[in-house]
């Protein structure tokens, strides 16, 4: 039994994306590790920004976690998303649905300084370090 980490998702949430993750590889022999633990280890690495070898020892071996990540992170068809992206979208969709929120983002923040400078950037400005060429 491993301890819980802040990056973990619940078993119920994982069961929603399990079929997507299982379909990524051929099942040629029984799994030695629970796919839930491997997925949570991938989430841990992504959230904490640590190296593969630095994942806690109560997760599966880092080589196995990295192996699955490489498979899940690669798009399997041209112009398609990776399984990690699909799983993330499913997770966001499920979370929004369970919290009675809109399924699509309803607000976007735009930096006001960027908007003010967008049209006139090529005509205005002064750089004191440059010499005037005549």
What are 32-70's pLDDT values in tens digits?
888 999 988 988 888 888 899 999 999 999 999 999 888
Residue pLDDT, tens place only, 10-24 = 898 888 888 878 877
C-alpha span between 104 and 89 (Å, rounded): 11
Q: 14 is written with which tokens?
A: 């994982």
**pLDDT mean across residues, the chain:** 77
Is the pTM here over 0.85, yes or no?
no
Find tokens 């796919």 and name the residue.
35
């Amino acid at each position: 039994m491993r301890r819980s980490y802040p990056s973990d998702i619940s078993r119920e949430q994982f069961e929603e994306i399990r079929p997507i993750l299982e379909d990524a590889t051929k099942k040629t022999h029984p799994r030695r590790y629970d796919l839930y633990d491997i997925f949570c280890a991938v989430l841990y690495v992504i959230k904490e920004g640590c190296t593969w070898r630095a994942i806690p020892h109560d997760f599966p071996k880092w080589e196995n976690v990295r192996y699955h990540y490489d498979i899940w992170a690669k798009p399997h068809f041209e112009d398609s998303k990776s399984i990690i992206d699909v799983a993330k979208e499913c997770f966001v969709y499920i979370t929004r649905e369970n919290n009675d929120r809109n399924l699509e983002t309803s607000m976007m923040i735009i930096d006001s300084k960027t908007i003010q400078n967008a049209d006139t950037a090529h005509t205005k400005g002064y750089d004191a370090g440059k010499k005037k060429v005549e």
